[in-house]
Amino acid sequence: MTQAEIARMYGTTRAAVSYHLRKKPGPAYPKRTADNLAERMPWPEASGKVKRTPEWRKLLNHLEYVETGGRGMSDDKLARLAGFYRELEEFNVVVEFDPSIPPRPGSAGGGWAFVPRTEKDGDLIIRVNEHTQMTPRDYTVWKMPKVRPNSER
């Protein structure tokens, strides 16, 4: 919700809502956008058409879900994400990024492939390779979530 919507809901001003949010202890919660989520993706070489593919969007949705627990995400986005997780499990695959992977027919861009899971992948949903720059935190972010969309509804 925006600060103006919260203010209307409580019969106060947007300035009052802003004041209370600034005084609230704990971390700030910046508005999630595709751009600020994309900055946290572990593929610095991904650019252009690679970022207009379904795989990129699925991985952005995963990142948003991990960060928010699904709060604020649309039902449609959560349903698509649940399907993505089912696909990974059913076919026992992970998502791999390599700029040399050609586009699939009808795709906006290449760079992505669903590849068979190996023991080295552990419980990650992505393949770590020479094109992936992982931080220690990434090894928890890119795991299959224990609680998934639609499983808690």
Give the C-alpha separation, 90 to 146, whole Å: 16
- For the segment 117-143, what is each residue's pLDDT rounded down to a tens digit? 999 999 999 999 999 999 998 999 999
Q: For the residues of 107-151, what is the DSSP string, one character each?
A: -S--SEEEEE--GGGTTBSB---TT----TTHHHHTBPPSS-TTT
Over 60: is that where the pLDDT of 51 sits?
yes
Predicted structure pTM score: 0.74
Structure confidence at residue 32 (pLDDT)? 52
CA angle (39 as vertex; 130, 112 as ends), nearest 5: 45
Question: Among 43, 65, 47, which Cα is nearest to 126's?
Answer: 43
- Under DSSP, is residue 10 helix (H, G, I), strand (E, B) or coil? helix
**Can you give the pLDDT at residue 153?**
43
Q: What is the rounded distance in angstroms from the CA atom of residue 103 to the CA atom of residue 29?
A: 36
pLDDT at 76 over 80: yes
pLDDT at 35: 55
For 63, list phi and psi in degrees, rounded to 5: -60, -45
Burial 18-27 (b: 16+ CB within 10 A, else e): eeeeeeeeee
* Closest C-alpha to 43, from 87, 114, 95, 106: 95
CB atoms within 10 A of CB 115: 15
Q: Kind and range of the H or E element at 93?
A: strand 93-97
